Chains A and B, each alone.
Chain A
């Protein structure tokens, strides 16, 4: 029994922490005019989520294979290195979002306590999703995560844009969830299993009848579509810019980082465990050509459209879609190089988490209430008005561009290496060409920050100052540089975490 609890410790720590914070907030007596709930809750949430990451890391050190209780929760929750790696990534993403919120919410008069429990329980859902080895727990995790995020997107109640983004996200998210659920039902119908491993074994076994195979193929279509929505692959991406732009920036950061990572985690698990048989993984008729096409469309469309954006936040939204496209390239490489491809995806997500959270954090720091940094023009000359925010922004954008020696460079390098090693040279070349296009709009921010002065009379963004946000930026910057200067070790960890192919 106790070992059971140990195996689930990261989930329990985060869940209990969230409950305690919610209780504490409910009974807190605040003086009028005193500091808002963010002052306590941001730190509390950060500590809770960081504790989740630390616990997950200690389980990693112990080794999940040594945890007796891990088998007890299988196949609903699978506690392996893959799960623990994602627990860490998700907790870090959530913790960074909590810190960003600690600065952002009071500044923008959004200081309401419910933000933090929503954030924590979403993270919990994401962690469940990443460890789910069964379609049922997968769906529960997905919905736990999504419901919280829908609310977070609509958190700026006064803003029409926020409400619009939330409703769009919710409607389309339900649609995608329905597709996924329907696909799951069909899989059960075809194979008689809801656990991913069982589905995989049934498909591999070759004992199904022709009609069952037909059902399984349709199910694969629906499941792929549902997951493609969550990773926001083109053409399932349309909700992303609106939701990202409408959401308060810390929530945007959370979505770009944690939600996307969890979606990739479950995509990997489904593709490797359930659809890992030769027929599903066939280059002729399986998911790899579909994913390859999605990857190409996602990269290309997102980058082209991102280049035309005038809003920096929207640009970052499209850029996050583009990064999903790069990751999908590595997903295709799963077909021939499962270990290296997964390692590269995990490393990429880690690097992407710190870079993107940092970029959104720097964007928060560049603007204050009523004087937000929205467009490129707003950022003009910020390099002189707020050198720290500008330098941090520059660092994270360079990492997203993939300039050495930042984390982003090695992330791209490893993905490209996996793609080339797996024999997908055209995809690798397209990825590189796309990064060149991406460099254009990332560096455009730098040009505005350092080489332009605001037009006279134009409203300028007034930088804000916040210890929380600065702390988050420091963590991100340290991550970006550490992964950039010592990438080898982190990659080894990521490869250790890869799911066994079969």
Chain B
């Protein structure tokens, strides 16, 4: 069977990948174009069939890839376009897709979890009038996500990357009638643009330094990424038009350089932080919960937001070259994990709790990949897809039930209106509980294994630098990360069980809606503080509970796919080969293996403490301690509840600044273009514009005046003489020669003079000029031009040949001699001359010593002793043409 498939689909032309991609695309197309006319049943069938088919094909692909560890299958559609690389070579970029262990695993998650959530949505969205639109978008999302995962090069991946973003905005703003929800879509869009900027920059740099965008080739040529890139100064500032003092002030003593890998790593991570909602770009994800709940489950928990983690894992070969970039990833992950968890403490909206939990868990994944544990990080992506998908779907089920009572989107998500729901929604309750245990990290459920592995690797492993010059973080850094992660794990257990107890235990509070819940428009008509008439909450239909059960089951047993400590890790054989090259640089000391079990104990303890605390606070004491905390530290509590007011901070800084720029531009338009130019020209026009005035159409005079201004401006520029020269300093360092070539112009004559010549030098036709400089010599060259209108202009060029000299005679501190004053430079020149002299003498002595063994050999030979080669001596005498040890 397997061999038949392999025969049918050779690894280099694995057309099954096209099928995987095509089915959701087709589904989206059919539902989008004809969905309205087809009716809900046909829409449902199309959506489910396309994703289901894609899942089956993915399964086959996974089996093919997994059957042979380290293998990958590719399918190339066509040569898309090509760009020019660093060596002026043509870098071809194909529309190609490939699946290795990593992609194949992601395929299964995307299509598998995707299918379950599609199934769930058919129940959840059954009454929505945009049913077909919803499934068209959802299928489109799956298509884009598969493109992202399957992209053989970064360009194709980027299409998917943008595609999932597009689908995400469409789905966040799905209920676009609601202004707030449309705004959430917009926010997600803008924040992600910042991330995309990073990704594009990373792509450009990768093409430049590795000469390819294919992940495979980039990995092989990753050594090129160790090139040092000069960030500043980008050019010799003294040769630009800026004044000398400014150029000196802006030129640092030694140029700022980083390795290309670090630069690329940081840019890549900026993209990842945008998509995967990390500090400081996490703000969009909680707002994205405005979309329908299945969307939150699929896109904003299980798949799309993990794309950043996937990308870091996919480009692991870049990151291992730069421990600095990895440390940024790791630290950002740890901070996000803790920070988001702290916000989740004070949220009352069930979906918001899950949203911040997602941000926090993504932080854990980044701790994993940032610690060089790429497999473990990806494993957390998988387990998280199970339990967080399940949690969101449970939340959807709860909201579904609540919404039947309280016909209000916001109030039906508020945990203060829930409580005691375990009696009404037994299945939802059970699955929610299991997923909570999984996320809290209680063994042996899925979350435990993945989180434990991440924390262990953060504690124990470090990156071996590729060269000695590469910066590495101190050893204690990883330990710090571990403890931050552990704290976040306690928080996770606490807030998840807080949500659990508030939702499912105690008395059902939804008979009455929380007073003053919505101070705005809804206050008056029955949804206020009063009792509500309506049916009691009830369990969701089968199509919604079946996915819950499957996901909960996976959340229970999923951990054994990759349970490293007990050596049950079938998935490791699929994933690890992908990271083989990167993993060579990641070192887990032998001694650390003894720490596996103690650290695991700490992890379990963290989970237990969190759960126990939540049990005590919300179940035993009925939430009294939390209320006491809220009243005793009012401002602090409010700060946490308002999400540390980060949104407000952004609003008042970045958004306000952008608005200010836009306003300024508008004001400029209003006052300068319309106002000043209009008024200024009015006088001119009144004089000569009889004809124009006869036309009398609006302000055509202004238009004409603007053209006149343009002609005058262009004319002024071209008629004025411009002394401008191209300064070629390529020979400066080696020989001291600087060649200047004047920019030519019609009817120009040129005059070159130095500071010593006076003004009387005649103009000629020599456009080029060369100066030879000694070390530390500074000379000023003047280029004068005279144009066809007999106007002259002159420009000064300060040239200096730089060298590192002591700042003062005898001083240890080095300085670039061109930055010294005249007297200092004279001393420096003296110093350089003496050094050169010394060098010359040393050279001479060296030659003499070189000749000595030759003489010795000769004398030995004369005595009849033959010596093949003296140890450590230069090779046998060269033919005479070379000259005996002559200086080059």
Contacts and interface: CB of A to CB of B under 8 A. Distances in A.
Interface of A: 164, 167-168, 171-172, 175-176, 179, 203, 208, 210-214, 216-218, 220-222, 224-225, 228-229, 235-236, 238-239, 242, 278-280, 282-287, 289-290, 293, 304-305, 307-308, 387, 403-405, 410, 413, 417, 421, 436, 439, 443, 447, 450-453, 485-488, 491
A7 B331 CA distance: 69
B743 interface: yes
A205 to B, nearest CB: 12
B629 interface: no
A279 B748 contact: yes
A451 B173 contact: yes
Interface stretch (B341-349, B509-517, B695-703): B695-703
Interface of B: 32-33, 78-84, 95, 155, 158-159, 162, 170, 173, 176-177, 182, 185-186, 189, 193, 662, 665-666, 668-669, 692, 695, 697-698, 700, 702-704, 706-707, 709-711, 713-715, 717-719, 721-726, 742-748, 787-790
Residue among A175, A212, A307, A453 facing the most chain B CB atoms (10 A cut-off): A175
Contact of A485 (B80, B84, B700, B703): B80
A417 B745 contact: no
Given A214-B789, A285-B748, A450 B743 contact: no
A279 B714 contact: no
B185 A488 contact: no
Given A228-B710, A280-B746, A285-B724, A452 B700 contact: no
B81 A417 contact: no
Contact of A168 (B698, B722, B787): B698
B706 A210 contact: no
Given A213-B747, A280-B746, A285-B787, A175 B722 contact: no
Given A168-B698, A172-B703, A453-B176, A224 B714 contact: yes
Given A171-B704, A304-B669, A485-B80, A278 B159 contact: no
A interface majority secondary structure: helix
Given A221-B718, A236-B707, A172 B159 contact: no
A239 B714 CA distance: 19
Given A217-B788, A308-B669, A284 B746 contact: no
B703 A214 contact: no
A448 to B, nearest CB: 10
Contacts of B721: 285
Contacts of A421: 84
Contacts of B162: 403-404
B711 A221 contact: yes
28 contacts: A168-B698, A171-B692, A171-B695, A172-B703, A203-B746, A210-B790, A214-B789, A217-B719, A217-B788, A218-B719, A220-B718, A235-B713, A238-B707, A284-B722, A285-B724, A285-B748, A293-B717, A304-B665, A307-B665, A387-B33, A403-B162, A404-B159, A404-B162, A447-B186, A451-B173, A485-B80, A485-B95, A491-B81
A488 B80 CA distance: 7
A453 B703 CA distance: 38
A217 to B, nearest CB: 5
Nearest to B176: A451
Contacts of A211: 788
Contacts of B744: 278-279, 282, 284-285
A238 B697 contact: no
A279 B95 contact: no
Contacts of A218: 715, 719
A450 B703 contact: no
A382 to B, nearest CB: 13
Given A203-B746, A213-B747, A228-B710, A238 B703 contact: yes
A428 to B, nearest CB: 11
A486 B665 contact: no
Contact of B82 (A217, A284, A488): A488
B717 A290 contact: yes
Contacts of A284: 722-725, 742-745
A242 B702 CA distance: 13
B708 to A, nearest CB: 9
Contact of B745 (A164, A286, A486): A286
Contacts of A242: 698
Contacts of B662: 307
A216 B746 contact: yes
Contacts of B724: 283-285
A443 B710 CA distance: 32
Contacts of B707: 172, 175-176, 225, 229, 235-236, 238
Nearest to B173: A451
Given A167-B697, A171-B700, 20 more contacts: A164-B697, A167-B700, A168-B703, A175-B704, A211-B788, A212-B747, A213-B788, A217-B718, A221-B718, A221-B719, A222-B711, A242-B698, A282-B743, A283-B724, A285-B748, A304-B668, A410-B81, A436-B193, A450-B170, A488-B81
A350 to B, nearest CB: 15
Contacts of A208: 747
B743 A283 contact: yes
Contacts of B159: 404-405
Contacts of A451: 173, 176, 182, 185
B746 A452 contact: no
Contacts of A224: 714
A235 B182 contact: no
Given A172-B703, A238-B706, A447 B182 contact: yes
Contacts of B81: 410, 413, 487-488, 491
8 nearest CB pairs, A to B: A284-B743, A213-B747, A284-B724, A285-B745, A238-B703, A213-B788, A214-B788, A451-B176
B361 to A, nearest CB: 29
B697 A285 contact: no
A225 B704 CA distance: 12
A387 B29 CA distance: 13
B710 A225 contact: yes
Contacts of B745: 279, 282, 284-286
A430 B119 CA distance: 48
A398 to B, nearest CB: 9
A240 to B, nearest CB: 10
A285 B788 contact: no
Contact of B176 (A285, A387, A439, A450): A450
A330 B833 CA distance: 49
Contacts of B719: 217-218, 221
Given A279-B744, A304-B669, A172 B700 contact: yes
Contacts of A286: 743, 745
Given A175-B704, A203-B746, A238-B707, A164 B698 contact: yes
Contacts of A290: 714, 717-718
